[in-house]
Amino acid sequence: MSFSFASPNSEEFRPFITWQEITDWAKIHYRDRTFSKDERIPTRPGLLYLVRQGAVRLVGSVQTNSKQLEVVEKVFVGLVGTGQPFEVSAQSPFNLQSYAHVDRTLVIWLYWNELDRWTHLRREILEIFRYQQQRKLLWLSILGQKRTIDRLLGFLQLLMAEYGERRNCGYCLPYPLTHAQIASAIGATRVTVTRLLGKLRHQGVISVEEENLICWIGSDR
């Protein structure tokens, strides 16, 4: 399989210019906080959040009452890396939550109108959401695949293209992902994901490095 990796780490998508300024501003105004791994990040609609350090995991849930039972299944719907913005404004029956994906995740928050003082940053943030929206369309294409192996392969490729870091063996995710998290993202069971990842390792498509980081070796051969 051959596919070109996007360069999500390019400066283009990182508003570094006023980064120090906004970090200082957040500190002065008590708008920053550090979270431990898997700690819930409290969010409110109408606020914008910036990941200053670490990474944030977005998790969605839907309350349906099919068969009069309230079913709430938590679904991994995205990662927000360092330098990236996110917001959470869901309406019932939909719900979105955010968690620190790694230890010492530092998050800054501000009201949208406070961005008026940094018009350049505001524009860059909107451009990032534009980019993320395109990525989500691809993610949706993957989740529409009927076979679990196709969803898993597509999902891994999408993550690699977005977050993958070049290593000797190929591209590696900078964050660990549990099999349960992958399973929830692609609508599969954890057991199935464990089995399929084992198969992909055996086939040499992926490898699992230290700290459980998944690497994509490729499957051209």
Tell me: does residue 6 bind a copy of itself (CB under 8 A): yes
Tell me: does residue 8 bind a copy of itself (CB under 8 A): no
Q: Tokens at residue 89, please?
A: 């404004």
Question: What is 62-110 written as a DSSP string?
Answer: EEE-GGG--EE--EEEEEE-TT-EE-----TTEEEEEEESSTTEEEEEE
Tell me: does residue 87 bind a copy of itself (CB under 8 A): yes
**Greatest C-alpha distance within the chain:** 55
Tell me: does residue 173 bind a copy of itself (CB under 8 A): no
Dihedral through CA 24, CA 27, CA 31, CA 36, nearest 10? 110
List the one residue from 20, 92, 113, 168 that touches a copy of itself (CB under 8 A): 92
Q: Which residues pair with 61 in a beta bridge?
A: 95
List the one residue from 49, 76, 118, 171 that touches a copy of itself (CB under 8 A): 76
Cα–Cα distance for residue pair 178/211, rounded to 1 Å: 11
Cα–Cα distance for residue pair 61/11, rounded to 1 Å: 33
Q: Which residues pair with 41 in a beta bridge?
A: 98
Measured from the CB of residue 27, what is the shortest distance to a copy of itself in angstroms? Answer: 26
Tell me: does residue 221 bind a copy of itself (CB under 8 A): no
Q: Tokens at residue 13, please?
A: 């998508």
Tell me: does residue 145 bind a copy of itself (CB under 8 A): yes
Residue 133 or 168 with smaller CB distance to a copy of itself = 133
Site for a copy of itself (CB under 8 A): how many residues? Answer: 63
Tell me: does residue 113 bind a copy of itself (CB under 8 A): no
Residue 28 or 140 with smaller CB distance to a copy of itself = 140
Chain residues binding a copy of itself by CB under 8 A are 1-4, 6, 58, 60-62, 64-67, 71, 73, 75-78, 87, 89-96, 123, 126-127, 129-130, 132-134, 136-147, 149-151, 153-154, 157-158, 161, 184-189, 219
